[in-house]
Structure 1
Amino acid sequence: MNSHQLWLITRYSFTEIWRNRTFEIAFLILIPLIIAYQLSFQSNIFNIPVEYTLVLSSFIPTQNAYLFNLLQVFPLATMGFWVHKQKKNNTLEALFVHPQGNGTYSAGSTIGIIGAFMLMGILSLAIAGLINFFASPTGFRPLIYLFYLITLFLPTIIFIVGMTSFLSARCFKNSAVTTLFMLVYLGVDILYLSKLYHGILDPLGILLPYTFSDFTGMADLAGFLLHRMTFFLVGIGLATLAASGFPRIPNKVNGRQLAGITGFLVLLAGILSGYTGYNRHKQMEYRQTLYKSVYNKYAQNNKINVTTHEIRFAYREKQAQMESRITLKNSTTDPCSEIILYLNPSLEVTSIQEHDKPISFTRDAQVIIIPYPIFPGKDITLDIYYRGTIDESICYLNIPEKQKEFDIDNRHYLSCRFGHRYAFLEKNYTLLTPECLWYPVSSPPMNPSCPYNTPYDFTRYMLTVDHPTRLTAISQGSSQKTESGTRFENEHPQRNISLCIGKYGKREINVDGITYELYMAPDNFETLTPVEQKLDSLPAEIRDMKEIIEYERKSSYPFSRLRLVETPVTFTSHYHPATGGSEMVQPEVLLLPEKGIGILNGRIRPFTRSQLRFDTFKRSPFKSIIHWRLNNEHVITSREAGTLSHLKLSVSWHYDQTYNIFDFNPLFFNHINHIHSSKYPTINGILNQLVKRPWENRDPMNQASESHQEALNYLNGKSYREALADNTLSFNVINQINELKANDLLMQIILRGVPVSDFHQFVQDFMKQKQFQQTNFQTFDNAFLEKFGWQLSEIFPMYFDQRELPAFRVKNFRKKGILSSSGEDTGLWTPHSKFNIEFDVLNESDVNGVISLYLHCIIFPKKGEDPTVDRVIYTPRSFAVKAREAKKIIFIYEGIPNSQSIHTGLSKNRPNMFEIYDEIFRREKKPEYTTDSIAREEPLPLDIFFPPTNEIIVDNEDSGFHIIDPPASWLSRILGIENKHHHGSFFDAVSHWESQISTDYFGGYSLSCIGKATGKGKASLTWTTPIDKKGKYKIYAYIPNNSYREEVRRTRWSNDPIRDILYYYTISYKGGKKDIKTYAPEESKWVFLGEFKLPEGECSVTLYDIGLPGQCVVGDAIKWVYQKP
């Protein structure tokens, strides 16, 4: 192949591409579009506060590379024209009479196309670099730009050009057909293929995590390079095969055969590379299956406890060199024939000794079997020597794959995916948590037979770490420098320990005897300069936050230190139901994501400069961030929704509540004790759920919406025991069931006459007495018997096996201010205010139940008449309501309840919370007063909760209600899109009827309605009832105010006047039919439709989906009222 001729053809091809109209249009659209996107979302020019915007130095180049790589494929797909162009006269026509071979001509043309698009990619990255350098304070790392150019752009371009060339030369004679095929293929790839088989079929690498951490680089560099090499080789192979099919007569006799063989071999190499990448994932799945089976195999053999454990760690020759001196004790009443220990399977045990004498052992994956008997009450000390690496596939085997995929998929910034790592063992960085089994333990981090009942040892650990002086070692316990590194000793027995080694800087402060240590990358401390300038205020701020956290838990922080450690953005953990948290929060150690990603909204520098105002003590933003991001079990998360959600382009959003992996609660409860029971497997989690936040400090709104509703639906007809054995339940649903049953246990205790405060105090006291140890449930149950006169286990048979739930009807809520004894109004808004609160309730089920009144209360400090508000807490009061009982509940409250809600807990009620709009507090209505200050309960007749005898009501939950949906579109049928339950606004609903629950709707214990966006009248709702008594009837429709509210919301955006919203009904009866139009009300209420003389027989009312554009149509209930003659 002549290099001069190759260069000549390449240059001509390159010039032709740049002159091509399609290429010019693509250049003029793609580059400005990407620039505008990054200037808007990734620069500080417009000062738009987007999450994570100015954090990692790789974010700007990664986002640019992702967008360009995704968008360039469509103009690339049209480049098949070069094979067909010899049929037309063009600028390369003269070259056909020159003596270039087909290989030279094809290679030159292909390289020209590749070069043109690579130049466009260079320009795109160069502009991103300018934005990075001049329009953001983020660090500029030019090698990242070069890396993406070579590893991301080049393989994509080569593959698409190669495939297009192959199709043009071998399959299709028409360039338009080639282009159409490629566009369809790329569309299918973006929508579907990218999500299959770990992205191995996706040349664009849409789901690949290639964001660089400033600590450790990419999450899976080897996997990424293997994926890109696959399509690089496949593209070259296809391009070479295309050259062998070139219609021009070859210059050499065997030219085509040689090109065909070469192309086939390169293509085969690419396929083998792809198979290697696919096999990596299959091998990991195989190992995970193996490890699960091994856990199951030895699940019943755990009888040994580790009492002390001294570990020595060193990193040498690219692996960990470790030794453990471990003391094991048989705390049971039965002899143990063998010792079962667990260790990461990639760590090789070289020797086990007792008093310098070797002991035989065998390995079964992660299990170490030592045939050494230990009798009850006896112990043994062993020296275990082991070395190797860490197999991360052993981690989180008990977490469902869907949940892990969900967690990992939501670890991203815009389209920059972080990936996931569960451990690091490298020369310059090490991060090992208990989940990866980096040292021998007798209790594994998972219990396959019952994930919610994982037993734990409380062990006194000592850790010696050998490391270079340039690195810092971090772990639990007091630290002391040694000649070779650092030594840690724990003051208390711990469930487990972790180890982190890296290039860290340190800041330290002691407040009230507790040492707070902050470890960050040295270059990152500059972002905290505003904090360090306010050091005089910092102790008081920390003290105030600590007091709030301890006050809400009625418990003191149990450790003498707290170490906050910055970790790579690629490191992650998952919520563990057995511990009530994740490994981001461990005893004495809080692992924070790199530069605060996901906690401080990423923008640490502007956050610290503009929000950390320690001179403004009251409700400071810093305190709010710490309180809400680290002090709540649930957090509201947003994720992309829709068919293109995996592209992470923020097209549409779905909001839900998920478990907070940075929740502080385990530090106060789960990490300091454990109540174990094989008979009642979830008892530890239930008790911790009840005490992790005292009853009077629970936010009633703090519940996951969709999973919470699914959990309620499941328990309406199935027992708790069935739920624990049901493997089909999702992770979030079973956790919501556990939370519901925890509250249900408290309700059962209330029914037995134990006050909430007494029970809570008992559990707190018991756990304090049993700190840093595992306790059998029988011990707890005996203590409960001594305190309250009955055993908690007495109610467990019904508690675990009950299938029926109570069902409540609540009405007539009233709140009145209480006058003084002299009849004088002392004012409603003072610390001495009293309120008379009453409501009517009916339990229409056959089981007893408990209903709770939550008061959102303002608390004043104890400073006499000081009107300053100290804090706001939720105060519940619970009331037992027996089966088939109706009563009026009158409650006297001293304080200022500025809002209130009634909760039915684990019941058939939908929703199970009645939020009460307080017109008095908002000064929209004058307050009512009374002198009645006696709390009591009064019986009521049941019939006041049901319609009068002359009324017929058909609700949307009744059998007389029917829905007619419009036919689904052809696209929806092809894509298999199903109608799903809708939890948002009907304004955003699609073209089918969807249900929604709210206390504003009509119903019995289920308050719901049906709605949809307006259509063409092909969808309808029909309410039908038999008329047994002929005569005059007034007909009413209960119309929720959704339509009016959505119209008001629309006008806020458009500034248009509010339109008149009409509802179109048809009333049909025997011998007659009438069309009715009525206006949508501003408030939810019964709307009069008309008076009709109805004969005996069926009467129906139909609502059609006719209306104005942008309107929603809502149907709830129809009422027929018989009029006496």
Structure 2
Amino acid sequence: MRKTFDNIRLIARYERRLIARGKLFWIFMICVLVGITGFQWLWQGGGRWGISSWAEVALPSYIPYLNAWLYSLVQGIMVIFVGVDFVRRDRRLETNVVFLSRPVTNTIYQTGKVLGILEVCLLMNVLTMACGMGVHLLFGEPGTFQPGIYLIYMVVLTIPSLIFVLGLGLIIVNQIKNHALAILVLFALLGAFYFGTGEILWGVFDPWGRALPLLFSDVTGLAKPAWTVLQRGIFMLSGIGFILLAVGMMKRLSDRSRVIRIIRGFGIVFILAGVFDGFLYVGKFQGINARREMYREVFQKYAGVDNVHVKTHDIRFRQAGERMYVTSELVLENERTNRLKNPILYLNPGLQVTSLRDREENTVPFTREGQVVIVDRELDSGEELNLRMEYEGFIDEAVCYPDFTDKEFHDTRLVLFSRRPHQFFRHGWCYARVGDDYTFLVPECLWYPVSVPTVNILSPLTRRYDFTRYTLHVENVGERTAISQGNMNVKENVASFENRNPLPRLSLSLGHYEKKSIVLDSLEMDIFRGMIFLNEIIR
């Protein structure tokens, strides 16, 4: 076993030296380092001459992301011209005849070759990252430099692209004997991927992951980590499968046919795993769209139903991880002149109602249809009904903004102040979040029961409001700070918010914030800051 690893390392080292001896490699390396560094300096650094703005460097992930994205794009060209060139060298120049004449198996030989190419590309990646860090330290916003983000983008963005392009290149050059034609075919495939697959099925065919929300937040991390893992896994698994198939394409006497069949079998398994991963990725979006269509139909079904008025609403909120436990005490009032049958309440469909009782602690029957809770109780004109509703579960973001098209809902582009989407950055949308580190709940996610939906699905520009006197109690705040509407009072690890006047809606943010206050003409103004780079800016 040790001899096997020694042979792999020997072949990898020899391949690195062969690549480093080529003039094309040095020309390419200089162009990549100077080109990417110069572009970032012009676009995000002190030499931008008005090309860009503060929005290009505001977040800690802006400079690392652009650095990784540019390198992942140009490394494909390097792999085509420099990496897979060893196949041509083996055929014509016999640069590796010293290994071909020895009993080194295809697996060892190809593994050493691929390892040598990967090491050269990763070294280039590290050098590019170092140049990006230099731009970041010299011209970035104070307090935004975080070297860990560079490593995250290296793993998530550049390595899967490298594995896929290398595997695809090895397949093509092994199948097409004419090297010039093979290069042309590879460029045609990469061009088709780049210009034709960016937005198709939410980027499932895009090796560079341009549709993914990859901007990294200090507070929430990646917006959609599950999407990222699935999409990048497609090309990581497929690339490994292509490389294994390429191993089986090498015709050498030192491997037995059984070994070749096993290697090819593993290659097919990895490719099928990548395809299955792609179906899982697309299935996530299709599942969200199917639920959104169902929720739209429910909104439309009950759009013309008479609404009950929520007079007062006392909410007691508690969370454990991503799961929330809430108790709502509501006073419903029929303000209409006619008798109201079966009052309607709207609640996020991911939250399960575990109990519904009246003032006398009698169980009130109800039925559930998606986001609608239908209370089985009639109310005369002017009559009030006290309800105590207990519910728990996870937030389903698919119910948010039903007036958006599915394309708008999944659009991950960063929209600038000019309302134009950014050319590179994709932050994605997080419509609600519940977690130990950070919680953010807005009315659009229906995290508490309301009688009037936040969107009029029949006429989105005509919105209706139900003004309610809210009281909110957030339990187990710990060292975190709770932010909501109303006068705040913290006592015994419970943050309470009381509102003197009725409000149309209620929001909640819970995280590690630092409070700063200023009094202007007897008016106290508070600002809560939580992210490191904002601390530096606001200071």
TM (norm. structure 1) is 0.46
Whether 1:516 aligns to 2:519 is no
Whether 1:356 aligns to 2:356 is no
Residue 954 of structure 1 corresponds to none
In 1: Cα distance, 2:201 partner to 2:27 partner: 35
> Are the equivalent residues in 2 in contact too, given 1:335–1:376 (CA < 8 A)?
yes
Instruction: Kindly state the Cα deviation for residue 84 of structure 1 after the two structures are TM-superposed.
Output: 3.5
Instruction: Kindly state the Cα deviation for residue 414 of structure 1 after the two structures are TM-superposed.
Output: 5.8
Instruction: Kindly state the Cα deviation for residue 47 of structure 1 after the two structures are TM-superposed.
Output: 7.7
Residues 47, 526 of structure 1: alpha-carbon distance in 2 compared, 3 angstrom cutoff: farther
Residue 323 of structure 1 corresponds to 327
Whether 1:42 aligns to 2:16 is no
Residue 131 of structure 2 corresponds to 127
> Are the equivalent residues in 2 in contact too, given 1:231–1:270 (CA < 8 A)?
yes
Residues 490, 218 of structure 1: alpha-carbon distance in 2 compared, 3 angstrom cutoff: same
In 2: Cα distance, 1:66 partner to 1:461 partner: 46
> Are the equivalent residues in 2 in contact too, given 1:505–1:522 (CA < 8 A)?
no
- 1:597-640, CA deviations, whole angstroms, 9 ceiling, x for partnerless residues? xxxxxxxxxxxxxxxxxxxxxxxxxxxxxxxxxxxxxxxxxxxx
Whether 1:428 aligns to 2:437 is yes
Task: Tell me which moved more, 137-146 or 384-393.
Answer: 137-146
Whether 1:393 aligns to 2:393 is no
User: Structure 1: which amino acid aligns with 2:424?
Assistant: S
In 1: Cα distance, 2:54 partner to 2:322 partner: 37
Residue 205 of structure 1 corresponds to 209
After TM superposition, list the pairs within 5 Å mapping 1:130-145 onto structure 2.
130-136=134-140, 137-145=142-150
Residue 384 of structure 1 corresponds to 389
In 1: Cα distance, 2:70 partner to 2:351 partner: 41
> Are the equivalent residues in 2 in contact too, given 1:349–1:385 (CA < 8 A)?
yes
User: Structure 2: which amino acid aligns with 1:68?
Assistant: Y
Instruction: Kindly state the Cα deviation for residue 405 of structure 1 after the two structures are TM-superposed.
Output: 6.3
In 1: Cα distance, 2:153 partner to 2:411 partner: 26
Residues 522, 56 of structure 1: alpha-carbon distance in 2 compared, 3 angstrom cutoff: closer
Whether 1:445 aligns to 2:454 is yes
Whether 1:475 aligns to 2:479 is no
> Are the equivalent residues in 2 in contact too, given 1:343–1:439 (CA < 8 A)?
yes
From 521, 528, 546, the equivalent of 2:538 is: 528
User: Structure 2: which amino acid aligns with 1:35?
Assistant: T
- 1:357-388, CA deviations, whole angstroms, 9 ceiling, x for partnerless residues? 22222221111122111122111010000111
Whether 1:465 aligns to 2:469 is no
Residues 327, 351 of structure 1: alpha-carbon distance in 2 compared, 3 angstrom cutoff: same
> Are the equivalent residues in 1 in contact too, given 2:69–2:158 (CA < 8 A)?
no
> Are the equivalent residues in 2 in contact too, given 1:208–1:224 (CA < 8 A)?
yes
From 351, 361, 365, the equivalent of 1:347 is: 351
> Are the equivalent residues in 2 in contact too, given 1:80–1:178 (CA < 8 A)?
no
Residue 54 of structure 2 corresponds to 51
Residue 419 of structure 1 corresponds to 428
Residue 884 of structure 1 corresponds to none
Secondary structure in 2 aligned to 1:468? Answer: coil
- 1:493-521, CA deviations, whole angstroms, 9 ceiling, x for partnerless residues? 11011001111111223334543221112
In 2: Cα distance, 1:443 partner to 1:482 partner: 32
In 1: Cα distance, 2:33 partner to 2:437 partner: 39
Residues 81, 528 of structure 1: alpha-carbon distance in 2 compared, 3 angstrom cutoff: closer
Question: Which structure 2 residue ranges, 5 or more long, are not aligned?
Answer: none
> Are the equivalent residues in 2 in contact too, given 1:250–1:256 (CA < 8 A)?
no
Task: Tell me which moved more, 18-27 or 461-470.
Answer: 18-27
Residue 254 of structure 1 corresponds to 258
Residue 3 of structure 1 corresponds to 5
In 1: Cα distance, 2:376 partner to 2:409 partner: 37
Residues 509, 300 of structure 1: alpha-carbon distance in 2 compared, 3 angstrom cutoff: same
After TM superposition, list the pairs within 5 Å mapping 1:559-958 onto structure 2.
none
Whether 1:85 aligns to 2:94 is no
Residue 101 of structure 1 corresponds to 105
In 2: Cα distance, 1:21 partner to 1:284 partner: 51
> Are the equivalent residues in 1 in contact too, given 2:486–2:497 (CA < 8 A)?
yes
Instruction: Kindly state the Cα deviation for residue 454 of structure 1 after the two structures are TM-superposed.
Output: 2.9
In 2: Cα distance, 1:76 partner to 1:325 partner: 63
Instruction: Kindly state the Cα deviation for residue 317 of structure 1 after the two structures are TM-superposed.
Output: 4.3
> Are the equivalent residues in 1 in contact too, given 2:321–2:435 (CA < 8 A)?
no
In 1: Cα distance, 2:441 partner to 2:178 partner: 58
Instruction: Kindly state the Cα deviation for residue 180 of structure 1 after the two structures are TM-superposed.
Output: 0.8
From 183, 186, 190, the equivalent of 2:187 is: 183
Question: Which structure 1 residue ranges, 5 or more long, are not aligned?
Answer: 530-1125
Residue 494 of structure 1 corresponds to 503
Instruction: Kindly state the Cα deviation for residue 190 of structure 1 after the two structures are TM-superposed.
Output: 1.4
Bigger RCO of structures 1 and 2 (CA < 8 A, at least 6 apart) = 2
> Are the equivalent residues in 2 in contact too, given 1:292–1:397 (CA < 8 A)?
yes
Residues 277, 400 of structure 1: alpha-carbon distance in 2 compared, 3 angstrom cutoff: closer
Superposed CA RMSD: 2.0
Paired residue total: 528
Residues 361, 41 of structure 1: alpha-carbon distance in 2 compared, 3 angstrom cutoff: same
Instruction: Kindly state the Cα deviation for residue 407 of structure 1 after the two structures are TM-superposed.
Output: 8.2
In 2: Cα distance, 1:146 partner to 1:522 partner: 20
> Are the equivalent residues in 2 in contact too, given 1:505–1:520 (CA < 8 A)?
yes
Instruction: Kindly state the Cα deviation for residue 399 of structure 1 after the two structures are TM-superposed.
Output: 2.5
Residue 370 of structure 2 corresponds to 365
Instruction: Kindly state the Cα deviation for residue 16 of structure 1 after the two structures are TM-superposed.
Output: 1.9
Whether 1:277 aligns to 2:286 is no
Whether 1:28 aligns to 2:37 is no
In 1: Cα distance, 2:343 partner to 2:250 partner: 71
In 1: Cα distance, 2:234 partner to 2:320 partner: 34
In 2: Cα distance, 1:317 partner to 1:482 partner: 22
Residue 17 of structure 1 corresponds to 19
In 2: Cα distance, 1:446 partner to 1:482 partner: 36
In 2: Cα distance, 1:511 partner to 1:89 partner: 80
Residue 155 of structure 2 corresponds to 150
In 2: Cα distance, 1:43 partner to 1:126 partner: 15
User: Structure 2: which amino acid aligns with 1:466?
Assistant: E
- Normalized per residue, the structure richer in helix is 2
- 1:807-854, CA deviations, whole angstroms, 9 ceiling, x for partnerless residues? xxxxxxxxxxxxxxxxxxxxxxxxxxxxxxxxxxxxxxxxxxxxxxxx
User: Structure 1: which amino acid aligns with 2:441?
Assistant: L
Residues 144, 491 of structure 1: alpha-carbon distance in 2 compared, 3 angstrom cutoff: same
Instruction: Kindly state the Cα deviation for residue 85 of structure 1 after the two structures are TM-superposed.
Output: 3.0
Instruction: Kindly state the Cα deviation for residue 292 of structure 1 after the two structures are TM-superposed.
Output: 0.5
Instruction: Kindly state the Cα deviation for residue 406 of structure 1 after the two structures are TM-superposed.
Output: 6.8
Secondary structure in 2 aligned to 1:301? Answer: coil
> Are the equivalent residues in 2 in contact too, given 1:55–1:138 (CA < 8 A)?
no
Residues 289, 20 of structure 1: alpha-carbon distance in 2 compared, 3 angstrom cutoff: farther
> Are the equivalent residues in 1 in contact too, given 2:342–2:374 (CA < 8 A)?
yes
In 1: Cα distance, 2:446 partner to 2:65 partner: 33
In 1: Cα distance, 2:412 partner to 2:139 partner: 32
Instruction: Kindly state the Cα deviation for residue 522 of structure 1 after the two structures are TM-superposed.
Output: 6.5
Secondary structure in 1 aligned to 2:93? Answer: coil
Residue 76 of structure 1 corresponds to 79
Secondary structure in 2 aligned to 1:445? Answer: coil
Secondary structure in 2 aligned to 1:415? Answer: strand
After TM superposition, list the pairs within 5 Å mapping 1:974-1123 onto structure 2.
none
> Are the equivalent residues in 1 in contact too, given 2:413–2:425 (CA < 8 A)?
no
Residues 106, 302 of structure 1: alpha-carbon distance in 2 compared, 3 angstrom cutoff: farther
Residues 235, 403 of structure 1: alpha-carbon distance in 2 compared, 3 angstrom cutoff: closer
Task: Tell me which moved more, 405-414 or 4-13.
Answer: 405-414
TM (norm. structure 2) is 0.93
